[in-house]
Amino acid sequence: MSALIQQALALYSDLPPTERFHVHARAFSAPLMDVAVRTPGGTVADIGCGHGLLSAVLALADPKRTVRGVDPDPRKVAWARSALARLPNVRLAEGTVEETLATEAPGSFDAAVVCDVLYLLPEEKWPAFLRTVHGLLKPGGRFLLKEVEGDGSWKHRKALAQEWVMVSLLGRTKASGGMALKPRGEMLRLLADAGFNVEEVVELGRGYTTPHVLYVAEARLP
Ligand SMILES: C[S@@+](CC[C@H](N)C(=O)[O-])C[C@H]1O[C@@H](n2cnc3c(N)ncnc32)[C@H](O)[C@@H]1O
């Protein structure tokens, strides 16, 4: 595990064991460093930041960067606020991206990160959600969309079962009415329709039991 992830995990040492376990499990099961190393400096939105682990990594990696994390789950935002209180370059808000960043700061972000969030929204809301993210970014701003690929593999089916447990059985993840993992072609079409040029598709499933995939895109001029 990278030194940066360990540094970020140390911020959670005063949280209750259940929350610490959740954050450590996240660190082991998701390729957060692969997202972080492709994120530029400047002002970055972490949409659906959860406990804020990726926000912490982004803030620690570049103290000049400003990270704005937002999540609709009040419990998670409270844990994130408590853990990240010592990071002066992180601001956290409770709510959806439409309720917070989109009204407050359109066109002002150098980058936006959406890491394992889109699949929790109903599919019919995906186009509008992606257009909202586009609207946050400066022209040429970078969008990092980390998803689990719906490729029909055993890893895909395992990931769906795991998410069902997290959302419906344990209530650890707050869904917004959706649970769909899409194939790459469909994701590329959605991103293009929302105004993004996809520059790179990074397969990150190797070494994980989940078919992680990262879309690295640039916001075209409106
Ligand atoms: C699997 S967690 C990922 C958390 C974090 N991005 C990470 O990579 O560790 C999914 C997060 O999406 C959040 N979420 C659910 N619906 C959302 C929405 N409509 N807008 C933004 N975030 C949402 C959940 O509250 C949850 O914290």
pLDDT tens, 47-83? 999 999 999 999 999 999 999 999 999 999 999 999 9
Ligand 1 pocket check: which of 12, 114, 120 to mutate, most ligand atoms within 8 Å of Cβ?
A: 120
What distances in angstroms separate CA 166 from CA 77, 169, 170, 209, one per listed residue?
18, 6, 5, 16
What distances in angstroms separate CA 136 from CA 35, 37, 141, one per listed residue?
19, 21, 9
Token pair for residue 93? 């808000």
Whole-number Å distance, alpha carbon 52 to ligand 1 midpoint, is 10
Pick the residue with more confidence: 205 or 112? 112
Mean of pLDDT values over 149-155: 84
Number of domains in the chain: 1
Q: Report whether 116 contacts 35 (CB < 8 A).
A: no
Residue 61 pLDDT? 97
- Give per-residue pLDDT as tens, 7-31: 999 999 999 999 999 999 999 999 9
User: Chain-centre distance of CA 65, in angstroms?
Assistant: 17
Q: How confident is the model at residue 175 (pLDDT cuts 50, 70, 90)?
A: low
Which structural domain range is residue 181 located in? 3-219
CATH number of domain containing 47: 3.40.50.150
Q: Whose alpha carbon is nearest atom 4 of ligand 1? A: 50
Ligand 1 pocket check: which of 33, 53, 71 to mutate, most ligand atoms within 8 Å of Cβ?
A: 71
Query: What amino acid occupies position 183?
Result: P
Q: What percent of the chain has pLDDT over 70?
A: 96
The DSSP element (H or E) to which 56 belongs, if any, is helix 53-61
Whole-number Å distance, alpha carbon 154 to ligand 1 midpoint, is 24
pTM: 0.93
